[in-house]
Amino acid sequence: VAGGAWLLRGGEDAKPLPGQHLRTLAEQRGLEIGTAVRGDVLRKNRAYRQTVAAQFSTVTPENEMKWEAIEPSRGEFDFGPGDDIVERAGEARQKVRGHALVWHFQLPGWVRELGPMQLRQATREHIRTVMSHYDRDVGIWDVVNEPIADDGGLRPSVFARRLGEGFIEDAFRTARVADSDAKLYLNEIGAEAIGPKSNRLYEVVRALKARGVPIDGVSFQTHSNLDGLPADFVSNMQRFKALGVDIAITEADVGLKLPPSTADLRRQADIYARIVSACLTVKCASLTFWGFTDGRSWISETQAGTGAATLLDEDLRPKPAFGAVQKALGGR
């Protein structure tokens, strides 16, 4: 069924997937394994909901906890969609990863209009209010998302332009006061290889740790394609781990040109296996896929001619990548 039309058949049960559940295999390796979820699909589609519950031990709301969604007007919070995901995660004995408190994208227009003092105050209020609301239910947060530019500079976001690099430290300190127990992460895109971007990220994290800033982890999004993973991905993650932070992979997917060939799907499976292997090698705290079905994937929705990026096809049937992840988790 093209275009993920299975969503319209929301009452059907999921067909069992072959082999052991991913969460069972991951637990045996001491790894949390998760997926980004769409709250509307989770609510409407039984097969999607059943697959999430069976296969994953953590969930990340794809959009429902981003600033634009949760505080569209200053001081007016809409927790409903996020609350629904949290409730369903509880029923499935899953942890929730909150995503993302401070990010330059999916940001309401009113935030961009604030001067420096107002922006600092609004950011602190946002972090405190959201984290306090989810105090007992969300134990991991992407506090700052994508602060580094590809050239190794600070990304010229509204936060960096008005507050300077100090906005990162301020966000983490505010988050720790809001929740003394949560794991606090800096989440970055395109920093998998050693180079200008990851080097700047390393220096930022090293400086934060040296100043006693409460940063618990660094996460690598790991959006990929058929070019595969950089050869130095593992050594890059290991140098961050040596700083005394946890490591996670948080948004893994492998986009393909459409329509994918059989060889493309085999190559995709190999890359997924390598992602799992890299995570296990550095003893990641968690590995999260950015969606698990081609029926609902940000890549096919935002990148023309590209898609088929996940473990299952549009009808929740396993692709070679699903079996490759099972095998990699099983250590075979």
Query: Above 70 in pLDDT, residue 205?
Result: yes
Chain centroid offset of residue 148 CA: 17
Amino acid identity for residue 319 in this structure: K
pTM for the predicted model, two decimal places: 0.96
Q: What is the distance between the alpha carbons of residues 150 and 189, in angstroms, rounded to a whole number? A: 9
SS3 154: strand
Chain centroid offset of residue 215 CA: 17
Q: Which residues contact 216 (CB under 8 A, 6 or more apart)?
A: 183, 184, 185, 245, 246
Report residue 269 as tokens: 């499976």
The predicted structure's pLDDT at residue 332: 57
**Res. 9 pLDDT band, cuts 50 70 90:** low
Query: Which of 284, 282, 258, 256 is CA-nearest to residue 270?
Result: 256
DSSP β-ladder status, 217-220 and 223-224: unpaired
**Res. 300 pLDDT band, cuts 50 70 90:** confident
Encode pLDDT of 140-187 as tens digits.
999 999 999 999 999 999 999 999 999 999 999 999 999 999 999 999
Which domains are present in the chain? 1-60+237-332 (3.20.20.80), 63-221 (3.20.20.80)
Chain centroid offset of residue 229 CA: 17
Report residue 99 as tokens: 């995503």
Encode pLDDT of 51-107 as tens digits.
999 999 999 999 999 999 999 999 999 999 999 999 999 999 999 999 999 999 999
Q: At what angle do helices 46-55 and 80-91 cross, to 10 degrees?
A: 60
- Is residue 27 flagged as an active site residue? no
Q: Give me the DSSP letters along 63-97.
A: STTSHHHH-SBTTB---HHHHHHHHHHHHTT-EEE
- H or E stretch at 48: helix 46-55
8 A C-beta contact, residue 271 and residue 229: yes
Beta strand spans in the chain (E)? 32-37, 58-61, 95-102, 140-145, 183-188, 217-220, 223-224, 246-254, 256-257, 286-289, 306-307
The predicted structure's pLDDT at residue 207: 99
Query: Which of 296, 301, 297, 293 is CA-nearest to residue 319?
Result: 293
Beta strand spans in 155-265 (E)? 183-188, 217-220, 223-224, 246-254, 256-257
8 A C-beta contact, residue 3 and residue 310: no
The predicted structure's pLDDT at residue 246: 99
Which member of 32, 188, 251, 314 is catalytic? 251
8 A C-beta contact, residue 54 and residue 90: no
SS3 257: strand
Report residue 53 as tokens: 């519950």
- Is residue 146 flagged as an active site residue? yes
**Res. 7 pLDDT band, cuts 50 70 90:** low
Query: Above 60 in pLDDT, residue 1?
Result: no
Which member of 146, 188, 192, 314 is catalytic? 146
